[in-house]
Amino acid sequence: MAEPLIPTVDLSPFTKNDEDGKKKAMEVITKACSEYGFFQIVNHGVPINLLQRALELSKVFFEYPSDEKLKSSPASNAPLPAGYNTQPQQSPDKNEYLLMFPPGSTFNVFPQNPPDFKRVLEDVFSKLTETGLLVETIVNQCLGLPPNFLKEYNHDRSWDFMVALRYFPATESENNGLTEHEDSNCISLVFQDEAGGLEVRKDGEWIPVIPAKGTLVVNISDVIQVLSNNKFKSATHRVVRPKGRSRYSFAFFYNLQGDKWVEPLPHFTKDIGESPKYRGFQYSEYLQLRLRNKTHPPTTPEDEIRITHYNITS
């Protein structure tokens, strides 16, 4: 049988101290991260019924009339627009979303309805935070970094955020849900409903990520690519909207605190005689540039700010 295009990794060996299972899983993850930055995980610690409940309640919420959804409009002082929002009219991305920071954050604006939604969102966020930490620990090992290096570097969880999304049905003329991009953060975790639509670029081709119940999609993001000096790749991905139905998904962004300095680590540069491929930057600066892509979409794709903005050209 041919290998599935997007590998699925069982994380249970990491909670059961199964050394042989861990070794095999790390080989698969290292290969996937080195080539295109994408893999899927099962036995990740997030209850499947909780993921299903979150998708069900998000469908109920997004079906409400606009005036009900707009009661959860964002506060103006948040680093990202927490609460309910839609993409700007001129955006090529066709979705609406609800964004939240960690439970207890003063930036959060939760819907009153459906009644159980806030609790479920907070439970999902807490569970995905634990999974993010586990995946970060595994990535740390796969990169050969000192134990707990990434955990200590990225210890502040206050900038993590999660987005519940609804993508509108495709029209006859266009089906773009989310334009091709890489995520700016460290590690992203995604779960989607049965409509699918998530695609990752591998060797110049777009590969669909087939939804599987209880599976989380992991993509390596820009911060890890820079720290590893391109050893691990930030995944290029997009969302294609299905015809005749909406698509629902959740994306969790295991993030970096805005004041952190990001540059290739000595482990991947001077320690091995390699030149850094990126100049250093403050993470919040990069986030602002990326946010501007959304609020003021560039006229041509070439003008969009991506991590290549910090490339050192030889």
What are residue 85's DSSP bridge partners?
A: 97
Q: What is the rounded average pLDDT of the residues 81-88?
A: 89
pLDDT tier at 129, thresholds 50, 70, 90: very high
pLDDT tier at 63, thresholds 50, 70, 90: very high
- For the entire predicted model, the pTM comes to 0.95
Compare 203 and 217 and report the one with higher pLDDT: 217
DSSP letter for each residue of 201-249:
EETTEEEE----TT-EEEEE-HHHHHHTTTSSPPPPEEEEPPBSS-EEE
Rounded CA-CA distance 174/172 in Å is 6
State yes or no: pLDDT of 77 exceeds 80: no
The pLDDT value given to residue 81: 84
State yes or no: pLDDT of 296 exceeds 80: no
Burial of 110: CB neighbours in 10 Å, binned 0-12, 13-18, 19+: middle
Q: What is the percent of the chain with per-residue pLDDT over 70, rounded to a whole number?
A: 98
Map out the domains of the chain as residue ranges: 6-308
The pLDDT value given to residue 4: 55
| Token pair listed for 274 | 């390699």
Q: What is the rounded average pLDDT of the residues 164-169?
A: 96
The answer to whether residues 224 and 187 touch, using CB atoms and an 8 Å cutoff, is yes
The pLDDT value given to residue 120: 98
The pLDDT value given to residue 314: 64
pLDDT tier at 311, thresholds 50, 70, 90: very high
The pLDDT value given to residue 2: 40
State yes or no: pLDDT of 1 exceeds 60: no
pLDDT tier at 76, thresholds 50, 70, 90: low
Where is average pLDDT lowest: 30-39, 43-52, 304-313? Answer: 304-313
Question: Regarding the domain delimited by 6-308, which CATH topology (the fold level of the hierarchy) does it fall under?
Answer: Jelly Rolls (2.60.120)
Residue 212 has a CB neighbour count (10 Å cut-off) of 14
